[in-house]
Every structure is written in structure tokens, then in C-alpha cells.
Amino acid sequence: MTWDTHPHQTGHAMVESDRIHGRPVFDRDGVYIGRISRLLIDRRSGHVENVVVHAQGRFGLGQKDVDVLWHSLQYDTRLPGYRAKARFMDVVARSLPPKA
């Protein structure tokens, strides 16, 4: 697994978690999905495995939290934000259960 880098912003090989939290996420076609609300870190390895994206839903309806594999996102300086490898509907289909 490789860490996402923002050399144009920090000049470092790793990115700080506060630079990831709140970043927008877009699908592979550039359609806005939502913003990163959490990083899910494997306790044993210490690596980020997934992120939780607070998704807006189509036309601003149906907000929900979506579990996205970290390695499926790539930072895109043209957006700026993270671009998923999947389409909007495929990403939001992976919703998390409601919080208790």
C-alpha cells in the first residue's frame, strides 16, 4: 500500500490526517460523491485501510455514510480532491449501517 502524497502542498512523502479529513471525493467521471469523514486504520499494521465518505446522494437527497477502500482513491489535483476508481452509484451502494 502506498501513502497518498501532496508534494505541491507539503513536500513530504506522507500526508497528515487533517489534510484528508473533509476532503471531497469524486467518482471516476468527476461526479461529486461527498467528503471524507473518517479514516479507518488497521490496528495491527497501522495502515489506513478504508475511509468513510459522507455521501450526498443524487440531487442532494439521501445522505449516508459510505465505506470506501483507501487504495481505490487517488488524489487528483485538477478537482482538487480524491477520485474513486468506480462510478457514483457503485460507490454509494457500499453504505455503512446506521450508527447506534
State pLDDT tens for residues 41-73.
Answer: 999 999 999 999 998 766 666 788 888 999 999
If you classify domain 18-92 with CATH, what class do you get? mainly beta
Give me the residue spans of the domains in the chain.
18-92
Distance CA 30, CA 15 (A): 22
* β-bridge partners, 75: 82
Cβ atoms of residues 41 and 50 within 8 Å = no
Confidence label for 96 from pLDDT (cuts 50, 70 and 90): low
**Can you give the pTM of this predicted structure?**
0.76
Q: How many residues does the chain have?
A: 100
